[in-house]
Amino acid sequence: MKRVLAATLLCALLFTAVALFAADTTPTTYSHVSRNRMLGDTLVRAQRDGSRALVQLTSATDPKQMNIKNYYDFAAHRVYTVDLNSNLCSTIAYTSPYPPPLNDVVPMADQMRKQIAESKAQGKPGEAVAGLATKVYDVKGDGVTVKIWVDEKYGIPLKQIFTPAGQKPVTAVEVSEISFTAPPASTFTFPTGCKKLEGTTDANGGHAVMQ
């Protein structure tokens, strides 16, 4: 429990900062596959082409527990959430210009560059992750150390290993595939007939809840 709390607190700081500093230099056309253990063991398949994005979240241990698709229409400021197990769909206003960094590592790139510059941390050459050259940085937080493999071109955090004090390291996030070519246009066919929910959400506020 302590390990989870420490990791979650450090991640919350990173993700909140990302929401404040996301920049145009971060790629907006890409596809990647990653495994994310921040909030459960989840397979993430993220695809984006400019104003449209699709992020699929699937339980790595049992897809019947979770298998959802989040379609983002940044031009219309909406997100559509489809539960592939129940076939339920809902939509709600979405105000951020990128998917939640908790699910999509690419929007973290700008803030990662900013944090590295401010901390004056010295990265060391690391092994390639998902075919990209990286530098490795050690970031220390309250009771936890995070080793981050950052791609050299954009600053995307491709791999993160958390080591809480006195505990074993845990691979929190690792990207296994990444591409910066445009996904097929058919990827972003937004669902219809979804239940429209009131209110708004953003990159820090989670997603529409099925009702």
- Give the tens place of pLDDT for each residue, 51-87: 999 999 999 999 999 999 999 999 999 999 999 999 9
Can you give the pLDDT at residue 159?
A: 96
**Per-residue pLDDT tens digits for 159-171:** 999 999 999 999 9
Distance CA 67, CA 21 (A): 30
Q: Within the chain, what is the greatest distance between any pair of CA atoms?
A: 51
Which two three-digit tokens encode residue 161?
């290993």
Query: Of 21-25, 85-89, 183-187, which range is least confident?
Result: 21-25
Distance CA 179, CA 196 (A): 33
Domain ranges in the chain are 2-201
| Mean model confidence pLDDT for the chain | 86
Distance CA 194, CA 79 (A): 11
Answer yes or no: is pLDDT of 194 > 70: yes
Which two three-digit tokens encode residue 28?
């907006």
Amino acid in position 36: N
Strands (E), 6-164: 29-36, 42-49, 52-59, 67-73, 78-83, 88-94, 124-129, 132-141, 144-151, 157-164
- Homologous superfamily (CATH) of 2-201 is Lipoprotein localisation LolA/LolB/LppX (2.50.20.10)
Can you give the pLDDT at residue 112?
A: 78
Portion of the chain with pLDDT greater than 90, in percent: 67
